[in-house]
Amino acid sequence: MERYISNEGGDSDPGGDALAPAPTYLVSEILFLQLNGPRRQGVVIDEDSGDTLLTTSELRHGMEAGARLTVGIPLYERRTLEISYFGLQHWAARRDVEGDDNLSLPGDIALATSDFFDADRMRFHYSSALNNAEVTLVRPAAWNDLALLAGFRYVGLREQFGISSFDGDAGASDYTVDAENHLFGAQVGGRLQKQRGRFGLDFVGKAGLFASFAQQHTFLGDSNNTVTLRNSTTRGCQAAFLGELGLTGKFELRRGLWFRGGYSALWLEGVARAPDQLDFTDTATSGTALVYRSAFLHGPNVGLEAQW
């Protein structure tokens, strides 16, 4: 978020002010992000007709709000150390499917249970949470409106998918999958800024390669959860990719204070999503795989920026 000092008319002066020290800045924003769903797969069927009554894609996350805080600390030769954090903790979707001794999980696993076969009601819950932290060195490029970015980033994505089955003739049991992802890596990018008078426009792009440390824990109970059919944890690590784009418009409310509004998108490739770990087979290794896919987040943001 490299800043240049403007003249009274608002245009940069590469012959003079470009040598002035970079300002300290603080940006506080509210993000409204939507998280895409996992791949589509059936999670409950009608035993009488064989029809799929609900798929994972029907448990969609809506747009949720979270906070982003960014601090810029000037260093030397107009370089800036930028530290940023944002988090969203409350994505959740729920669905109930009602039946009459005719609901079951798809696949062979249903026949190995009593509570997930001939069930009367199944309740589904899908939740997600995201945390992001970055430390970035910002330095001016030869072109005065462009700043180059390089630094380190952490992204944590945690999800849970749960199925609760109720059978009046047997009992109530749970099938839950918890997936955690911790991505660590380096990223590079650029930030292009234009300012005319009290109006400004920022465009940022970032990309990086990451190590994705993931794990998934699966639990499947039966007979009122008194019988444990599955209870395992699988861990893994693989390469991941992250890309981010953002466009922000700004208006100077008074000297050194800006109102900001924009739109951003974040793409993660190589993360384990909880619904993708569901396994409806019935073998000795069922539920022990670790499946990696992608996550895409996008949405608007509004906030304030202060410089001094």
pLDDT tens-place string over residues 178-208: 999 999 999 999 999 999 999 999 999 999 9
Q: Is the dihedral of CA 27, 28, 34, 36 positive or negative?
A: positive
Q: Which two tokens stand for residue 105?
A: 């999980």
DSSP 6: B
Task: List the domain boundaries for the chain.
Answer: 17-307
Superfamily of domain 17-307: OPCA outer membrane adhesin/invasin (2.40.128.100)
pLDDT one-digit tens code per residue, 218-247: 999 999 999 999 999 999 999 999 999 999
How open is the CA angle 33-35-39, to the nearest 5 degrees? 170
C-alpha Rg value of the chain to the nearest Å: 25
The model carries a pTM of 0.89
Q: What is the mean pLDDT of the chain?
A: 92
User: In DSSP terms, which residues pair with 184 in a beta bridge?
Assistant: 154, 211
CA distance 204 to 148: 10
Question: In the structure, what pLDDT confidence band is assigned to residue 107 with cuts at 50, 70 and 90?
Answer: very high
| Contact between residue 10 and residue 258 where contact means Cβ atoms under 8 Å apart | no
Q: Residue 277 phi/psi, 5° resolution?
A: -90, -5
Choose among 279, 33, 32: nearest CA to 161. Answer: 279
Counting residues of the chain whose pLDDT is more than 90, the rounded percentage is 87
SS3 state of residue 34: strand
pLDDT digits (tens, 9 = 90+) for 111-153: 999 999 999 999 999 999 999 999 999 999 988 899 999 999 9
pLDDT at 303 over 50: yes
